[in-house]
Every structure is written in structure tokens, then in C-alpha cells.
Chains A and B, each alone.
Chain A
Amino acid sequence: MSSPTRPARPEPEPATTPAEELLVLSERTPPPSQANDALVAGTAIASAVFAVVFAVALLLEAPLPVYGIALALALLLLAVAVRRYFTDRFPDVEAAEPRLHLDEGDDAPIADVEPVGRRPFLTRILIGAGAVLGLSFAAPVSSLGPSPGNALRTTAWQRGLRVVDGDGDPLRPDDIPVGGVATAWPNGAVGDEPSSLVVLRLSGQPQPPTDLDWVVDGSVVAYSKVCTHAGCPVALYRERDSALFCPCHQSTFDANRGAVPTFGPAARALPQLPLGVDADGYLVALGDFESQVGPAFG
């Protein structure tokens, strides 16, 4: 198919040819073929049949594979028909086109009406005014969100607020078995992501830098669940080495030692919640986190 019947002319003369005319280098006319005609007709008709199958199957709410495969076959068979149709009906032409000689330059003026050469500063004032107007359009951007203020340094936790589970039921220290871990929230703010908490009952002895005053029963501690690396939930706990583990980027924290990072990209410990027990025996916060929750900012 690729063998030209006429040899390629290496250097056609572009100057003598009108721009629109195709500079044909080689041309090969396909021989008439009944086999090809049959192929074009067969694939085109089969494509139409599958298109009907697709439409009818979809309207009758047949299973996805039925109408899906029918649509795919209709498209693919039509592709074959189009390809074979063109190869048989048109000569295979190889042609040349002269390139635009960009490097030769062109000095024609871009417009024929030139400005009168006076008071160029007026042009600059006009462009400057347009630029200022354009910049002023940025003002509504500040309406897109509230001012951060202190929002990222505080959470919903307050002194006396009960620690509740995902259903809003308050937790007692006894609800956490040894080696157990629970996701918890401030009462009234279930689902407030920056306030999310992991409450654990350590099987080992908590050590500094854990604040031992905030450990209930000698083994129940609560840390922020928001990873200090990129803010994913620190969702996994491995009791063997008391490791809190973030499944997103594998930051690992030692729950026995104030949740300091021991591996991975997190650089700061998970903040420990000041934790206590109220008169009714439920876990409560003694205050908000004392260090910033979640990833670094600004």
C-alpha cells in the first residue's frame, strides 16, 4: 500500500504553483475490490443493527452489559466501515506543502491607519486606568470566605464539655477496653472535623511528654484525630507498640509518649486533650487543646 507508483520528487517548486493546489508527490489508485465492498456494506449494516439493539435494550432497561456491548460494537464496526470505505474510494495521495518562512520576516504594517505622533502619555494614562479598573474587580474575592481569625487555633472543645461517640452518647472511661480505641466528639458538635478525637486505653504505662494530669484511670488518654501532616484522620491503632497510624501518608505517633511522631512525614505531636471525669462519671474536656490541631498553616 505504501509503495508509490510514481517516484517521490525531492524538491517540488513551490513558486510556480498556485497556493491552493495540492503538490502531489505520489498517487496510488486502489484496484476495485468486491471483497472490500462487501466488508464496508457488512460492517456498516451490522453497526446499524447493533445501534438499534443498544437503543432498544436501553429503553427496555436490559442489564448494562447488553446495551453497553451493543453500543461498543456499533461504534467499532462503524470505525471499520469508515476506514474501508475511504481506502477503496479515494486514491492514496502523498503531497507536499511549502512551509511558512517565518524566519524570512515580513515588514508590512499591521494596520494602514497610523496614529498621529503626539501626546503619547495619554495612551499610558488610558492603559493605566484600564488596569486599575481590572484590578478593582478582584475586590469581591474577599467575600468568598470568612476571615480565618483564630478559627484554626481553636476547636469546639471547652471546659466541662462531655466526650461523646458518633451517635452523641456520652462515653465513660469503662467504655474503652484495654488496647481499645474510639473516635469521639464534643457533645453537640458530632462531625465537626477539627474537633475529632481518638480516645484510647493504653496497655502500657503512659510516659512524658504525655501530660499525666490529663490521663484518666492511669491509662485513658485522648488525642486530636487530625494528622499534623496533611489533615487526614489518624484512623488506625496498633496496640503492640501503641502506635497511632495515619493511612493516608503513614505518619506514625507513639500514643504512650504524648503522641510524638515516630515515623513518616508528620513533624508535630497530635495535641492531647485535657481530659477528666465529671461528677456523673462521664469523660469531659478540662479545656480546649493547648496546641494547634491539624497541619501547619501560613
Chain B
Amino acid sequence: MTPLFALLFDQLDDRLRLRRPGRAVANKVFPHHWSFLLGEVALFSLIVLVATGIFLTLFYRPSTEPVIYTGSNPLYVGTSMPAAFESILRMSEDVPGALLIRRIHRGASHLFLAATVLHMLRILLTGAFRKPRELNYHLGIVLLTLAIAEGFLGYSLPYDSLAGTGIRIAYSEVLSFPFVGDRLAFWIFGGEFPTGDVIPRFFAFHVLVVPGIIIGTVSLHLLLLVRQKHTQFPRTGIDGHRMIVGKPLWPAQFAESATLMLWTAGLLTLAAVFIPWSDVALLGPYVPAEVGNNAQPDWFMFWLEGVLRMIPALEWDLPGLTISGPFIAGVVLPGLVFGALIAYPFIERRVYHLSGEWHVLQNPLDIPLRAAYAIGTFSFVLIASAAATNDQLSRLTGIPIETATWGFRIASMFVPPVLAFLLYRYSKGRLRRRGLAVASSEQEADSRFHEPASEQQPVT
């Protein structure tokens, strides 16, 4: 400790008695595996997002009132545009450093979502969601949902032509709710689209409400992690059910996390120099009833957009309500995907009669249902995401758009179940060849790991 730091610490310790709790924190053990850093990358992206976002808030004008642009972009001088778009243009072109910070903010939002999705995949595949960690898994799903919502709100705020089109589609999605759609849409959007309330409301949610809930949920997520401790991969000679093995928070994990934070910030900055991924000057402001070709959302909305494109023409008028394609594509289907994610821990526990607590991670191929579920869901999401590029694909390859759309329709219906079925059969056969069934307790699963497979007795 440097003398200054030691003096500060002594003064605080004199008043707060920090040594014992400090030591408990410093000695917290972190298992060592690269995949455990995905969640950290998400956390560090969030820090970058908050820091850059505060700066952007100081310049952004949440309004769609028309104003005359007087900044330095020759393309727009003297033209009338929504104040929101004007403020983005002005800060990007005329405030030193603001364009870099906007690009870092945008890049960090992509990284935040990507790291969150990969982190969730790791949790799902290795079984870190099992008892007693179901609650923390569900908090993670809440965070993913909020992150997608926050990303969409942020995409909307510049009020460029893509943003306005995105808001229009979101409004149509809310309208599509049976019975309450019109009422609900008028509440959320302040009346019939487009209203002057949309952007101020999106702004309040983007900078205050949603980030507030995200930060609160992340804090709870981390508190539960500390309380329940990490899961870990199996290791020869270690009873992972009783002991957790790794490196202490101080100094090893601290050094690693600090380095990772700097790497995250540094690479986001570098990417912001080379990738102009928030420049809206060429998109132009939103003008009602106009949309360009290649209208596409951010990548994390591709799967929803893809389903909206693939869904056949559907509209059932029932007495008093209407069930439409956009409702099935944009509400029912994502509801099913997220519903399955939420329910999965309980389904697995019931199907395989699992008992007790689980702290040691497993190969998903050891649990056929999980392997099948994961590949089914994620192949569907990937195919649906690819379907959101059907127009680009058609233009690039010359395949008629109708053929491309039919290809995606058929692939999304048949590929996921076939892959799920094949992987289920494969993992089941793999267990059977070793003379095993799915382990129903951690001790049973762990004992298999510690003994070589060849010495095991077949289960009959």
C-alpha cells in the first residue's frame, strides 16, 4: 500500500472496522474459465454505456418539432427537420468528441447485447441455471429482455428514417393485441401514430426508467451470485459439490477484471474510430410515408423482423376481436420462446427427476433434452434472423424474393425440429453406449467424471 492509501484506509477502518469484511471480499474465490468472463464483458459494456450515455443526454433534444438546421453539414443546411434528428446531427458534426462518444455508445450497446446472449447460452448449455440458481437465471432473462427493449429505444431516438419506421412497426405490434390493442397503443404512444409524445416518452424510458431497472437488476444478479457462489467446471480430485476452487478476488480476479474493463473500453474506442455505426446523416430524418430499401432493425431484432417477414397472410376476424399475423409473429412467438426459457429449469428437473443442488457444470450432451432444446431454439432464432435479410439476399443472388421467403419459411418450420430430434437421438445413444442414463443427482454426475468411462458398470 502506498502511504497515502494506507492513511486513508486507517482513517476509514477507524470508523467502519473494515478489515474483516474486506478480507472476506478479497478472499472470495472465482473459478477460472474464459466463458465466465462473458458476463463481465456485459457488465463493463454497461458501465461504458452509462458513462457515454450521460454525455449524450447533455446534447440530445427529445422532440419531433420541426426546426431549421443551421449546422455545418452542407447536405441539410437550411432544411426543416425534427429537433431530435437535428440535435444528433449537430452534436455529431459540431461538438468535438461527441461523434466518437456516440459511436462508442452504439458499439457498447451491440457488445452489451452480444455478451449477454453468449453469457446466457453458457448458463443454459452447462446447466448453471439449476437449483438453487433458478432465480438468478430468471433475473438474467429479465436483463436480456430489458437490454433488447433498451436497444430498441436507443435505436429510435435519433428519429432517422429507419428509427421512425421501427417505431411505426412497434406501434402496429401493440395495435395487434386482441381486445385491448387500440387502447394500449394510444396509451403508450399518446394517440394515433405519429404523435409528438413518442420521442419524449422513449427518451425518458431510455435514459431513466429502463437503465434504472437494469442497474437495479444487475446489482441483485451480482448479490445473488456472491450469496450462492459460482458454479464451476468439474475437476479431477475436487468435490465441486462441497468446495469451490479458483483464484481469489484479490489480487488475481481483480487484475483480470481491471484488465478486461480496459480491453473492453479500448477495443470499443478503436472500433468507434473505424466503424461509423451511428452516423445517421446519410439516412436522413424520418418523413411519414417514406421508407428506403434495405430497411432493417439492429441485429438483435432480426429474429423478430424475420418472423414478421416469413409469416403467411393471416387475419382472423372473430366476434369482438381480431387475431392477426403481426400478433402471432411479434407477440405470441417471442412470448413462447421466452416462456420456454423461463420454464426450462423446472421442465428439466421434472423430466429427469433431478434432486438436490447442482454446482458443477455439465456437458449438454449428457442431458439429451437440454441439448435438443438448445439447438432447436437457437437454430430457429438463427434462421429467423437470416430471414430478415431476405431482400438483401434476393438482390445479391438474383433469387426471386418469393423463393427466398419460401425457403426461409420451410427451413424455419423443419430444420429446428429435425436438428433437435437428431441431437436428442445422438446424445441418448452416446449415454447408452457408455451404459448410462441421465444423472439425477450431482453426486452421481460427479462420480462419473472422476472415474474413467471404461471402468463403469452398465446400468440395466
Contact = CB atoms under 8 A, between A and B. Distances in A.
Interface in A249-273: 249-251, 261, 263-268
B405 interface: yes
B178 A265 contact: no
Interface in A54-72: 58-59, 61, 64-65, 67-69, 71-72
A61 B72 CA distance: 15
Interface of A: 8, 10-12, 14, 19-22, 25, 58-59, 61, 64-65, 67-69, 71-76, 78-79, 82-83, 85-87, 89-90, 92-103, 141-142, 144-148, 151-152, 183, 191-194, 196, 225-226, 229-233, 235-236, 247-251, 261, 263-268, 294-298
Interface in B253-309: 254-256, 258-259, 262-263, 265-267, 269-270, 272-273, 287-295, 305, 308-309
A267 B325 contact: yes
A214 to B, nearest CB: 20
Given A96-B29, A192-B288, A298-B177, A79 B189 contact: no
Given A94-B245, A231-B169, A248-B169, A10 B237 contact: yes
Given A12-B243, A265-B325, A296-B322, A72 B266 contact: yes
Nearest to B21: A20
Given A72-B269, A75-B269, A268-B315, A96 B243 contact: yes
Contact of B312 (A72, A79, A265): A265
B176 to A, nearest CB: 6
B97 interface: yes
A232 B295 contact: yes
Given A102-B357, A230-B173, A196 B132 contact: no
A164 to B, nearest CB: 13
Contacts of A19: 24
Interface string B220-257: 00000001110000000111011111111001101110
Given A79-B263, A103-B357, A145-B191, A298 B181 contact: yes
B96 interface: yes
B97 A67 contact: yes
B308 A249 contact: yes
Given A83-B255, A102-B357, A148-B186, A58 B96 contact: yes
A11 B239 contact: yes
Nearest to B29: A97
Interface size range on B against A: 35 or more
B168 A69 contact: no
Contacts of A264: 309, 313, 405
Q: 8 smallest A-B Cβ distances: which pairs?
A: A75-B266, A86-B255, A79-B262, A145-B186, A196-B289, A68-B273, A267-B315, A76-B266
B329 interface: yes
Contact of A99 (B100, B188, B244, B315): B244
B219 interface: no
Contacts of B179: 298
Give the one of A79, A87, A146 with max B CB within 10 A: A79
Contacts, number: 267
Contact of B194 (A71, A193, A263): A193
A85 B402 CA distance: 60
Given A20-B24, A72-B269, A93-B247, A294 B291 contact: no
Given A86-B254, A90-B255, A261-B313, 6 more contacts: A58-B96, A72-B273, A94-B247, A95-B248, A142-B187, A148-B192
A92 B255 CA distance: 12
Contacts of B348: none
B295 A145 contact: no
A232 B322 contact: no
Contact of B289 (A68, A193, A236, A261): A193
Contact of A297 (B175, B256, B265, B314): B175
Contact of B263 (A10, A76, A148): A76
B291 A298 contact: no
Contact of A97 (B96, B189, B243, B258): B243
Contact of A76 (B245, B262, B324): B262
Contacts of A97: 27-29, 229, 243-244
Contacts of B192: 148, 151-152, 194
A95 B312 contact: no
Contacts of B267: 72, 76
A99 B229 contact: yes
Contacts of B288: 191-193, 196, 233
A152 B186 CA distance: 10
A59 B97 CA distance: 9
B427 interface: no
Given A11-B239, A98-B242, A71 B269 contact: yes
Give the one of B23, B185, B189, B269 with max A CB within 10 A: B269
A231 B313 contact: no
B357 A145 contact: no
B335 interface: no
Contacts of A86: 251-252, 254-255
A192 B266 CA distance: 46
Contacts of B173: 230
Contact of A65 (B189, B273, B310, B402): B273
B171 interface: yes
Contact of A25 (B239, B245, B308): B245
Contacts of A298: 175, 177-183, 321-322
Nearest to B269: A72
Given A68-B100, A75-B262, A148-B182, A22 B248 contact: yes
Nearest to B310: A265
B458 interface: no
Nearest to B323: A296
Contacts of B29: 95-97
A141 B190 CA distance: 11
Contact of B252 (A11, A93, A183): A93
B167 to A, nearest CB: 10
A64 B186 contact: no
Interface string B308-348: 11111111000001101110010000000000000000000
Give the one of A73, A100, A192, A196 with max B CB within 10 A: A100
A100 B133 CA distance: 13
14 contacts: A10-B238, A22-B248, A82-B259, A85-B255, A102-B357, A152-B175, A193-B168, A230-B308, A231-B175, A264-B309, A295-B175, A296-B175, A298-B178, A298-B322
